Amino acid sequence: MAYIANAFLGLTGQEISSFELPWEGQAPASKEVFLEGPAVDTEHIRFLKQSRGRAPGDVEAIEVMDGKLIITVVPSTNKAAWTLVVESKKYTQTEFTVKTRTSDDKFARLEEGRVMYRLYSPDSSEARPMILFLHGGGNGGFEGERDNEKQLMADYGPVNFAEEYPDVYIMAPMCVEQRRDFSKMNMNTKFADSNFPSDWRYGWSRYYLAKVCDIIRRMIGEGKVDPKRIYVTGMSMGGAGTVRAMSVGSDLFAAAVPVCPSMTPETFNILKSIRRPVWVTSAYIDHSLYRHKYLVDAVMNMRDNGNNNAHLTLFSPEDLEKYDISITPNLLYPDLFHQNHWSWVPTYKDDFGIMSWLLNQTKDD
């Protein structure tokens, strides 16, 4: 029997909730079972343990059943490395097969030309709405190295949409990214110099988005997708892609929700000119320090020019704290700005009614 780690798509993306190991004899003592490594050894985790007595990675139950040792833990991120320790024996992350609910079983792996994407299809003989989801930077793949999975597993997003809106098509393409050092981006970049990437081969370029839109048009022609109820949303780089999609596919989309979109001269000029329904969200400040300034200017320009269905939500510190975002005391500014970037969590959880608003929009022309 292989080592199994059971996961689901939580607020931090792919989160491990339990482990299964082949086992003979009695269950080990609770003090002999624990997780270690970067996934659970952070200032944030230590703060949660100290303040609440319970944190991601803590073991909640241990039992032996049908020759398996089943270890249940407080859900913990699979983005960082972890090691499971059982009676001094160490099982590393790479030794486990991770099984994630509602991924491969519901999302078809598809590829058309240059576009690699995953598609959830509702059980319906009638044309249904569609949500196009565009992932953020670092969640795609390099040329020849795309796995057509990372865009589903990285963050709270498309898999959760399929669970919450089972009557809607969910399309999640994966773009090709350039190799870059994310730690050296954003903080020291001037707005006028922020057009990276500009190469049509990479990211959510107009060229790539046009190919994605062509697939959607084909699905409309096949009677699968309702042409009046197609929506686009994405985060960070994907938020910029969402803005750009409203230009590339202006005939397609009924409405858009760009989340913390990268603001460049190009995306700013597109955003401020959108005439269709749009709801922009971001934190009050994040790692692109000028982002919220240009979002405010763009939305105000839309409304000044007659788009009364243009909205902006800048999540406050109190809004973010509800999701345990930026709650660690005395965070250094770079860490605060990085954590604040997670504004897709309150957006997609729909506690602010943003996703409900999106799915109620209809394109009449």
* pLDDT attached to residue 103: 58
Give me the numbers of helices (H) and strands (E) for the chain, helices first please. Answer: 11, 16
**Which is nearest to 78 in space by CA: 17, 138, 157?**
17
pLDDT digits (tens, 9 = 90+) for 105-149: 789 999 999 899 999 999 999 999 999 999 998 888 888 888 999
Gap between the Cα atoms of 303 and 265, Å rounded: 19
Query: What local confidence, expressed as pLDDT, does residue 179 receive?
Result: 78
Query: Distance of CA 295 to CAs 98, 135, 231, 299, 345, Å?
Result: 39, 20, 20, 6, 19
| Portions of the chain given CATH number 3.40.50.1820 | 107-359
Closest C-alpha to 119, from 127, 129, 128, 108: 108
Nearest to residue 131, comparing CAs of 365, 324, 361? 361
**Dihedral sign from CA coordinates of 260, 267, 218, 221:** positive
Domain 107-359 classification at class level: alpha beta
pLDDT attached to residue 196: 61
Which CATH code for domain 3-100?
Answer: 2.60.40
Strands ordered across the beta sheet of 278-283: 107-112, 115-120, 169-174, 128-134, 225-235, 255-259, 278-283, 310-315
Residues of the chain scoring pLDDT < 70: 1, 102-104, 181-189, 192-198, 365
- Can you tell me the distance from the alpha carbon of 292 to that of 305, in angstroms, rounded to the nearest whole number? 20
The pTM of this model reads 0.92
Structure tokens at 304: 């000044």
Q: At what angle do helices 206-221 and 237-248 cross, to 10 degrees?
A: 60
Distance (Å, rounded) from C-alpha 104 to C-alpha 120?
A: 10
Backbone phi and psi for residue 105, each to the nearest 5 degrees, phi listed first: -75, -20
- pLDDT, residue 236, reads 93
- Cβ neighbour number for residue 102 with a 10 Å cutoff: 16
Q: What is the structure's pLDDT at 365?
A: 63
One-letter amino acid for residue 355 of the chain: M
User: Which residues are paired to 89 by β-bridges?
Assistant: 86
Tokens for 188, please give them.
Answer: 């020291």
CATH 2.60.40 residue spans of the chain: 3-100
User: What pLDDT is recorded for position 14?
Assistant: 93
Which residue reads 């959830």 in tokens?
120
Contact partners, residue 8, CB within 8 Å, separation at least 6: 14, 15, 17, 75, 100, 101
| Residue-level pLDDT at 345 | 96
C-alpha to C-alpha distance for 205 and 342, rounded to whole angstroms: 23
